Structure 1
Amino acid sequence: MNVSLPAAVSLEQLRKQAKELARADSVPLSRAQLALARRYGFPSWPKLRAYVARVEAGAQHAFEPDPDYYAERAEGLLASALDDTPSSVAEFTRWSAPLTAAGARLVVARNHGFADWVALRRHVVGLRTSGEPFARAFHLLRAQDVAGLGALLDQFPSLVGARGTNGNDLLALASATCDERLVALLVARGADVRRGNVHGWTALHQAGYANLPWMARVLLAAGAPVDVSARGDGGTPLVVALFWGNVEVAEVLAAGGVVPRNLRTAAGLDDVASLEALWGTPDAGAHRGFYRPHGGFPSWRPGDDATEVRDEALSWAARADAVAAISWLCARGAALDADVYRGTALTWAAARGRVRAVRRLLELGAGVNVRGTFGGPGHGRGTTALHHAAEGGHLEVIEALLAAGADPTVEDELYGGTPAGWAEHNGQSAAHETLR
């Protein structure tokens, strides 16, 4: 049976244990080393020794057996550093690595305790049979095996505080599965709800991102902070939620404090009183360094121009179905067809299935066939609101747009796809039938 590997075990202690076992059992040292490795769940002594050496050096734990995963994490780390996220910039500074793709890969390799990218890849390929506890825990998370994870934590209690790739701990990885049972287990076992990864991203950010009110309540009750920024100044869990118009979790997060208080958050929360209080003040456009939830969105720099701040707020109101805020902003000159960052107000409302916002924007004069951008650079270019309503299968929105004169024959600029084609590509059969 496997036994727990002490959190503070060192190579010196490990060698001493092996020698004592060899003497006690009157066996060769190599046999005692193998027996000790297997006792701790490792297939060989070299695997155990290498693992302990990396833990002793404070290295991050690799856990995903696909090498491409680490390449993507390197790309995301570089994007975050280029957005001036302090914790990400610090990783490059730590290893004197340039802010390049190659530099990012070197940082990821060094953070895992390897000299270069090739050595990290070699290690990752063998993870499935390595016996490493963190990788085993990740496998249980992926399988959503709550009982199995609990048993592993009984054996290795220190795993709750261990850090994996890009500084993600098990709580961060559990929150990404959206399985609230796993999150509750880790919180009960003492996981640090205040901890963020190299992007500053906490489990509470993930709850906002995935629209998980119950998870947010658990994390808030355990002391998770609402004022921590990730991926740029002002990138709090609430802002992450409102970026996607995740109203349900946003209400839970806002109850813990509206941070930051600017035109974005007021619009997304449909808080007209705050819009009036902020209008014309420096706070209206403050703390807008956050503009994308991950590196899949293109680079941008939010400005402090009052027009940009106002027009951006309109799109944040639209994606949250904040009809009162939409009316208030438009009455004060917000440009209905402005594409401030990756989407007009109508496109955002259509993409999120916000039929009330769609109807109000159309009543106010939004251009139903205006082409714009949306999502990542390889996703929406030259698309209309109808493309994105079709993509999401939002039938009420599709009907409202068609009634207002939306052209179902418009082709996007990247793929030449019509709204019906987008519906078909995304498996939205009812929307495809409506548009076909």
Structure 2
Amino acid sequence: MAALPAKPDLGQLRKRAKDLARAESVKLSEAQFRIAREHGFPSWPKLQAYVRRSAEGVQHAYHADTEYYGERALGLLASADDGTPSARAAFDRHRQPLTREGARTVVAREHGFTSWRGLREHVKTLAGSGEPFARAYGLVEARDVDGLAAIVDEFPELVHAVGTNGNDLLGMAGATCDERLSRVLLERGADPARGNAHGWTPLHQAAYSNLPLLADLLLDAGAPLDVSSRGDGGTPLVVALFWGNRTVAERLARQGKAPRNLRVAAGLGDAELLDELVRPNGTLAPAAGAHREFYRPHSGFPFWRPSGDLAEIRDEALSWAARNDRTEALRTLAARGADLDADVYRGTALTWAAAQGKVAAVRTLLELGAEVNRVGTFGGPKHGVGITALHLAAQGDHLDVLEVLIAAGADLDARDGQWRSTPEGWAEACDSPAARELLARAR
């Protein structure tokens, strides 16, 4: 099967169709149909439409669910609200307000359609359209390494093409946790430095998913360490620390270029930097609260705006130490004024430690006096309302954490504020059978 040129050209395709018609003594329409089918398109007009869009540099639709694009529009709006330059630029480019309808118009126009309705009509026909980008996305989702290699060899432009909100195949491949897909794309020229509309690069994705092998692969290919996503300071290292992904965080930290603020020092357990940023009397150096505009990895977390309040900076750092299991940093921050039960943004130190299964941090916080039954928030607003650390340990099937919390007097009958469910109910709902059994035995 012949590959399309790296930059498909309608003139070349038309010439090829005419040459084929003469050589095979068939009608031009038959020759055009054959060429379209050869490249996986159901018709010549579908092939032409794809080539035109590729030449215009518009985004490619790739998901067959029309509601998916509504969610992407809301995500773009949230990123613009966070001040992400690339997201703001998309609204400015199309002169649209920062509203839901404005975001939908932006997403439609970025795909080459004048209206949201036009994009939706296009998506409805996507499954049978033969669109290479959509086909490649399906192969990525199926983790079909050989299939992905074949389609990218047939359509070389795919490694440079982008889909909705600027997501490219390399970024999508990272989300599958299969490094082989990323290797296929990098070997064919994919750009490891390119970010999507949120500024999110493939290295951010490796940090988010705690994939050290992918991080190494991307770093070897030249992926930048100092790019911020979703606000100033949202580098790949900070994303790893947000989730307590120590393996990737430590790899990235060795490369340098980390924001040198208090939450990074706490997450890395950097005692020297902690001493530099927070003094024994609890006062902070100016750099302690710098570069903290990143506060959520995606729009599933609610809006917030970090402030320069000294207590907030200390207390946030405490939760970053907890989620990364940095027990000495916990002791240092607690001794220097951090509030053990503060819920600065979607979780206390104890709930973060419990959610991430960091048993050493849980023990340390309880020894320092954290309230085992403290009720707070966690994650998205439709999930973590009125929860305790025991709910989150049950959700994650973290048995060692459950045992420590129960021994400390955790309330087995505590009910969250959203679903009115006990920790045992959370274990059942989240398919954590071992946690459910442990909780049942504890009664």
1:122-178: per-residue Cα shift (whole Å, max 9, x none)?
A: 222222221121112111111111111112222222211111111111110100111
The Cα shift of 1:118 comes to 1.7
Per-residue deviation, 1:28: 2.9
Post-superposition offset of 1:258: 4.4
Is 1:340 the counterpart of 2:339? The answer is: no
Q: Determine the structure 2 residue equivalent to 1:418.
A: 422
CA deviation after TM superposition for structure 1 residue 22, in Å: 3.3
* Deviation of the 1:26 alpha carbon: 3.7
Matches within 5 A, 1:239-250: 239-250=238-249
1:286 to 285, 290, 301: 290
3-state DSSP of counterpart to 2:339:
coil
**Residues of 1 paired with 2:332 and 2:30: CA distance?**
77
AA aligned to 1:154 is D
- Name the counterpart of 1:354: 358
Question: Normalising to structure 2: TM-score of the pair?
Answer: 0.96
Distance 1:138 1:227 in 2: 28
Partner SS state of residue 4, structure 1: coil
Q: How many Å separate the matches in 1 of 2:266 and 2:128?
A: 51
- The aligned counterpart of 1:209 is 208
1:297 aligns with 2:297: no
Instruction: Name 2:97's counterpart in structure 1.
Output: 98
Structure 1: how far apart are the matches of 2:313 and 2:204? 23
Structure 2 residue matching 1:368: 3-state secondary structure: coil
Which string of whole-angstrom CA distances, capped at 9 and with x for unpartnered residues, describes residues 358-414 of structure 1? Answer: 011001100111100000000011111111111111111111111111111111111
Q: Percent identity?
A: 64
1:109 Cα offset (Å): 1.2
Q: Which residue of 2 aligns with 1:378?
A: 382
The equivalent position to 1:326 in structure 2, one of 319, 330, 341, is 330
The yes-or-no answer on 1:29 pairing with 2:28 is: yes
**Equivalent AA in structure 1 for residue 115 of structure 2:** D
Question: Quick one: which amino acid aligns to residue 51 of structure 2?
Answer: V
**Whole-angstrom distance in 2 between the partners of 1:322 and 1:289:** 23
1:394 aligns with 2:393: no
5 Å-filtered alignment, 1:24-423, equals 24-279=23-278, 280-423=284-427
CA displacement 1:221-246 (0-9 Å, x = unmatched): 11111100001110000000000000
* Residue-by-residue CA offset, 1:2-46 (whole Å, 9 max, x unaligned): 421223233344334434433444433322321221233211011
CA RMSD of aligned residues (A): 1.3
**Shift, 1:191, TM fit:** 1.2
Across the two proteins, how many residue pairs are aligned to each other? 435
1:287 deviates by 0.3
| Alpha carbons 2:322, 2:352 under 8 Å: kept | yes
Pair 1:110–1:70, CA change in 2 (3 A) = same
1:112 to partner: Cα distance: 1.1
| Amino acid in structure 1 at the alignment position of 2:89 | A
Q: Distance in 1 between matches of 2:218 and 2:147?
A: 22
Contact 1:238–1:258 (CA<8 Å) still a contact in 2?
Answer: no
Partner secondary structure for residue 295 of structure 1? coil
Q: Using the alignment, how far apart are the partners of 1:27 and 1:345 within structure 2?
A: 73
1:303-358 CA-partner distances (Å, limit 9, x unpaired): 01111100000000000000010000000010000000000000100111111100
Which range moves more in the overlay, 120-129 or 425-434?
Answer: 120-129
- Select between 155-164 and 172-181 the one with higher mean Cα deviation: 155-164
Alignment deviations for residues 168-221 of structure 1 (CA, whole Å, 9 cap, x no partner): 111101001110111122122221111111100001000100001111111111
C-alpha distance in 1 between matches for 2:33 and 2:186: 35
Partner-residue secondary structure (3-state), 1:373: strand
Aligned to 2:281: none
The answer for unaligned runs of 5 or more in structure 1 is none
**AA at the equivalent of 2:185:** L
Paired residues of 1:258 and 1:265 also in contact (CA < 8 A): no
Partner of 1:9: 8
Residues 7 and 157 of structure 2 are in contact (CA less than 8 Å); yes or no, is this contact kept in structure 1? no
On the 8 A contact 1:141/1:174 being kept in 2, the answer is yes
Is the Cα contact below 8 Å between 2:4 and 2:156 reproduced in 1?
A: no
Return the letter of the residue paired with 2:381.
P
**What letter is aligned with 2:94?**
W
Secondary structure in structure 2 of the residue aligned to 1:382: strand
Is the contact made by 1:369 and 1:406 (CA closer than 8 Å) also made in structure 2? yes
Deviates more, 1:353-362 or 1:159-168: 159-168
**Structure 2: unaligned runs, 5 residues or longer:** 279-283
